[in-house]
Structure 1
Amino acid sequence: MWETVTMTESLAMEYDADLVSRRASLAGIAAAALGGGLVTLLGFFAFKTVSLPAFSTSMVTRALSTAGTVLTVAIVGALCVWWLNDEHKGSRPRWRAWLTTALCYVSPALLTLTTIGLPLSASRLWLDGVQVDQVFRSQFLTRAADMSSYADMNYEGLPTFYPLGWFWMGGRLANLLGMPGWEVFQPWSLISLAVAGCILVPVWQRLSGSLPVATAIALVTTAVTLTIGAEEPYSAVIAMGVPAVAVLCSRAFSGSWLSTAGIAIYLGISACFYTLFTGAVALTIVSLIALATCVAERTWLPAVRLTVIAVGSLAIAAVAWAPYILGVLRATTPLESTAQHYLPEEGTQIPAPFLSLSVIGLISIIGLVYLVIRIDDPDIRAMSTALVGAYLWTVASMVTTLAGTTLLGFRLEVVVVVLFATAGVLALAELRLMGLPTLYPARFSESTSKRVTVVFALILGIGGVYYAQQIPEANETALDHAYTDTDGYGERADRYTSDSAENYLKIREFIDAQGHPADETVVLTDEKLFMAYNPYFGFNAFTSNYANPLGEFSTRNLQIESWAERSWDQTPEEFAKALDSATWRGPDVFIFRGDLEHP
């Protein structure tokens, strides 16, 4: 963000202290991803070897979580202060340079482990257990672990409608670790969130030219995401990259082909993970910044680069979406989708994090002021435009309710918060460099500047610890469900008596004994957890919200009603014949609840 073409020369020189080459940046991204993923996986297994009490029933786990967070922030913060003070010397020991870089690159992974991984260590389930949306996510992971193809999570023979990317990768991790898909939900979520945070460090180091600033942005982004978006990790990892993409847009539309490629890759991966953010970012952020650049610079070159981005991202997206698109083109029945027919209370309000009485509220208001004051800088203007785009999408989502649908605008809250928080960190970094020393240059010797750096670091560190230690508390209800819900092995992590889901293993054993392997069997049931824990195909989805548009949800429901009504007057043979005569493959197994007196 601080380059000589966009900032004053003195500020650019200050922030170019840690600027690395393109090749080194790409190597750093790869190293951060690999290192962050490995650290998280090792931490996950280390936590599983220790018998800690359930988070919902003991304060011990909470205390250990806070201690780990304090150590992480304190060590990384101290190394960053040391690093900044070395700028006055012009050099630093090689061993400390490597140590600081390595710890900064994996610090988001450490934060993820201490704030979410440790509180979940005694459970096999991810946040929110198997409540509501987590049921279909667990079902999709179970399918992905069982089949490495484009199979729909529920319907046999249909390509998946939900983006395959994150779930397919989770399925491969499950195969590697020898876990069922539902169980890999936790480690894969931890790894993906940690890796996304770690990647931000080298990315922002390249954009800002400062390793400490990059680390601060990555840690703040990770903390915010873990607080308000961790339950849905595949969307959260995309949201974490939006501020960087906004700055990349500024660089791309000003002539950088590397930034152009980076945006195309980001949007392509986003389409394979979570299409809502793809549409929002592409239409109201990337396109809006391109238009603003065209107007400001009176050139059509940004439009050319926008076209390149569109073509490149669509090519990547086709990896996940091609089978479904082909299915739509070949469909002979109407498509049916109600996924966007959802409007919770938060979908009727505009997110305003800068009005929150919290650490993030404070840093967001600082970021808001900074975005206004520094609007002349192209990079800052791009971030401001990104915020405008996010708010436009949110308002448009409210307006589209007149058409009986929404754009799920409330999902963009995490995007708005990380944009403001990132701007706040940049504001504090610039204040350290250009604030007091500029106003009182005669009073700021080298030793005074070092003390100012320490003061800034202490304020940020204490504020960061205070906010980060509340991450488990912010997720307390979700953590409680992870301990109180019965998992796929029929156990509750809090060691209380399991519910009826403990019988699922026996039911599966019985079905297997009848010659019906799970991946070749269609089941008709309303037992959501049974389908989430076992890779059976369902005759129909549980709700239209998660049903594949190619699946003919309503028509299948009518078929079920017809079978039920006619079954009263049919013999078993006639009923079996009716099942076989359906348009689709009929169910091989029925699972219903009942009792011996009233079956």
Structure 2
Amino acid sequence: MSTATEEYTTDRLSRRGVLTGLLAAGVGGGVFTFAAWFILRMTSWPAFNTSNMTYALSTAATLLLLAVVGTLVVLWALDEQRAARRREAELESHEPEPGPDGNVGRTVPDLVLHRPRWRVWLTYLVSYLSPAALIVSTTAIPLSSTRLYLDGIHIDQGFRTQFLTRTATTLANQDMNYIDLPTYYPLGWFWLGGRMANLLDMPGWEVYQPWALVSLGVAASLLVPVWQRITGSLPVAVGIALVSTAVMLVMASEEPYGAVAALGAPAATVLAGRALRGSWFALVGTAIFLGVSASFYTLYTAVVALSVVALGTVFAILVLRSWAPILRLIVLGSISLSIAALVWTPYLWRTVTGHPTDGSTAPHYLPVEGAQIPAPFLSLSLVGILCLIGLVWLVLRFSTNDARSMTIGLIGIYLWSLASMIATLAGTTLLGFRVDTLIVLQLSTAGVLALAELRLSGLDVLYPDRLRARGRRYVTIIMVLILTAAGLHYAQQIPVQNQRAIDRAHSDTDGYGERADRYAADAGRYYAQIDEEIRSHGHDPLDTVVLTDEINFLAYNPYFGFQAFTSHYANPLGEFRARNDTILRWAESSWASSPEKFTAILDDAPWRSPDVFLLRGTLDVSEDAAPNAGWKSHIAEDIYPNNPNVRYRSIYFDPDAFSGEDWETTQIGPFVVATRVKGAS
């Protein structure tokens, strides 16, 4: 894309250049984020929920970052304008000459840029690392006074922490909760996090925060060379990367493995369109993205894959009128599935070979957001305005290949949201509320592309005879100033938007039994003693099954659970409902059986029986106590389509059932730990 005086694609990377850029951005973004986290870890700043100090530092760091990026971008753009003016003057000074075909015309000279080498290197360094730096300034700094990540150990983060704790103890494809089962949830992000825990000699739960930050830093930084290759403009690529990162931090940062996949979705739709039109380089890139994405987060992968299939169909039937796009689609899918198979094969093999399964209830969740069609372009906010600009641009530029690909991708996302609502008739959903992030990312990316095009050609159309060199320079400077100020206004609100999640990271009790805000810890402070008690009886956490409703204990310590806390994060191979029924029978039979009979009932289960019961209660229970005075636990029941979608049911075990020689019982805080004696019958 170009105008009479300036070009859009002066920074286009070659194939080798983009591969080098991806390596530099990925490694650089990861190293920078980790180094920043490591330095912040050594500070002793007050907690975010008790002081505004880290918020102030976050805003200051964000301002400095955007000021540096904005300055370098302005200088970069002005260099291009000066080079374009020199070329225009040179072109006008040459007399028209007849060409080989006899037509008279002028030979257009190449655009020659004069930039000091140090500034070129500095601009690339800052541009490629700026998305990672934004993550540090808006998220790492507010979290610097806690060991936990966003949302602490609350609800879903408990399961994610449990998974990371598991992968830190094994290289194998192992379910987070059930012993001897492969994982159902994608292993990729968690397995890599486990390796980081091993390298740093940290427990899995503690590596969650640095690994989340580092992986987000890597993914966000990779956007710069990818979009530089797509658009041919370094400033545009930086703008898209920073906008996408800011949107992701507000909408999806609490789920980092999903956010990593979401960041690449807009680029994937563009690259898929190019791949289906014949670019094998784009085809391989799209296939790798989809394969890795399927190993990280299946929902976003499925949505993007639907868009790719729609693209292939449109290009085959309406655009190219050829089978070639379908053939390329098959090749693309084959490569993607081959990569995803590295993670999914163990689970699929167990399923097809007849292992009992319950079926997944993960989609059984319908919040109010899932019952509405997202329309971010109607929101009176900076992102809303940007999305509206992007929507207009997609409509006006639909005839161009890349805009058409993005539009079809956007339609595919909206169709997924609609299908999710209709799927409620079948007793499930497609988790449509999650795709809000993809919609905003797609539209905001289009908005940045629209603004870039407006700077180059829009004002020429409106004022063809009035905009001279000085005017162009002022337009560039003013646009960058306004966009930088708008970016600062939005970015400084990221800690505020995530305040509840940051507060929980400081108020939840961590794996060392401490709260970052220095208030008294909850019952989690007893977990270390419980772990020591279990180990004292010869039970290795990596070969011990615990029946408990204390999900946080299993999140911080790598014991296996007899039952997952809810069916929505349970492995279908674990037979959640059947285990619930079994636990209910055990609780009931504990009141009517001798200790020996109770132990025998446990051993009759079709799964490995618990080695430890971690229950709430006290050892001092009178003999004539009622059943509801026994040792307490809970089981979770899926009650979808209700919202909330989980109901917890209290169950009680008779303390006398654990009074035989097979069990040792100990009181630790509010907990009773019943540990099976190794070697007992």
The corresponding residue for 2:657 is: none
Question: Structure 2 matches for 1:52-71, cutoff 5 A?
Answer: 52-71=45-64
Corresponding letter in the other structure for 1:75: V
Question: Structure 2 matches for 1:21-170, cutoff 5 A?
Answer: 21-87=14-80, 88-89=82-83, 90-170=113-193
Partners of 1:253 and 1:340 in 2: CA distance? 31
Shift of 1:12: 12
1:523 partner SS: strand
Shift of 1:313: 0.3
Shift of 1:440: 2.5
Partners of 1:484 and 1:369 in 2: CA distance? 44
Question: Structure 2 matches for 1:166-185, cutoff 5 A?
Answer: 166-185=189-208
**Among candidates 293, 309, 320, match of residue 343 of structure 2:** 320
Partners of 1:12 and 1:292 in 2: CA distance? 36
* Alpha-carbon contact 1:139-1:531 (below 8 Å) kept: yes
Partners of 1:27 and 1:515 in 2: CA distance? 52
Partners of 2:5 and 2:170 in 1: CA distance? 51
Structure 1 residues 481-503: Cα deviation after superposition (integer angstroms, max 9, x where no partner): 10110000000000000001100
Task: Show structure 1 runs of 5+ residues with no match.
Answer: 3-8
Shift of 1:578: 2.3
Corresponding letter in the other structure for 2:331: V
Matched length? 591
* Alpha-carbon contact 1:336-1:553 (below 8 Å) kept: no
> Are 1:18 and 2:41 an aligned pair?
no
Shift of 1:25: 0.4
Higher deviation after alignment, 480-489 or 244-253: 244-253
Shift of 1:439: 3.1
2:7 partner SS: helix
The corresponding residue for 2:230 is: 207
Structure 1 residues 350-407: Cα deviation after superposition (integer angstroms, max 9, x where no partner): 1111111111011111111111111111100111111110000000000010000000
* Alpha-carbon contact 1:331-1:550 (below 8 Å) kept: no
**Among candidates 414, 427, 430, match of residue 391 of structure 1:** 414
Partners of 2:195 and 2:202 in 1: CA distance? 10
Partners of 1:211 and 1:131 in 2: CA distance? 40
Shift of 1:595: 3.0
The corresponding residue for 1:375 is: 398
**Among candidates 318, 321, 327, match of residue 304 of structure 1:** 327
Partners of 2:207 and 2:134 in 1: CA distance? 20
The corresponding residue for 2:522 is: 499
Shift of 1:91: 1.5
Task: Show structure 2 runs of 5+ residues with no match.
Answer: 84-112, 622-630, 632-681
Any runs of at least 4 consecutive aligned residues in structure 1 with deviations exceeding 6 A, and if so which? none
So what's the TM-score if we normalise by structure 2?
Answer: 0.85
The corresponding residue for 1:289 is: 311
**Structure possessing the higher radius of gyration over alpha carbons:** 2
Q: 1:12 to 1:298 in 2, by over 3 A?
A: farther
Identity %: 55
Q: 1:11 to 1:250 in 2, by over 3 A?
A: farther
Structure 1 residues 77-136: Cα deviation after superposition (integer angstroms, max 9, x where no partner): 110111111112422011110110011001000000000000000011110111110010
> Are 1:558 and 2:581 an aligned pair?
yes
The corresponding residue for 2:364 is: 341
Partners of 2:355 and 2:385 in 1: CA distance? 55
1:591 partner SS: strand
**Among candidates 291, 294, 303, match of residue 268 of structure 1:** 291
**Among candidates 566, 569, 572, match of residue 543 of structure 1:** 566
Partners of 1:522 and 1:50 in 2: CA distance? 38
Shift of 1:11: 8.2
Q: What is the RMSD of the two structures over their aligned residues, measured on CA atoms?
A: 1.3
Partners of 1:547 and 1:13 in 2: CA distance? 57
Shift of 1:443: 2.5
1:489 partner SS: coil
Partners of 2:4 and 2:593 in 1: CA distance? 83
More strand by share: 2
Q: 1:302 to 1:13 in 2, by over 3 A?
A: farther
Corresponding letter in the other structure for 2:325: P
Partners of 2:561 and 2:380 in 1: CA distance? 47
Partners of 2:154 and 2:512 in 1: CA distance? 17
Question: Which one has more relative contact order, counting CA pairs under 8 Å at least 6 apart?
Answer: 1
Structure 1 residues 297-332: Cα deviation after superposition (integer angstroms, max 9, x where no partner): 212211111001110000000000000010101224
> Are 1:193 and 2:201 an aligned pair?
no
The corresponding residue for 1:450 is: 473
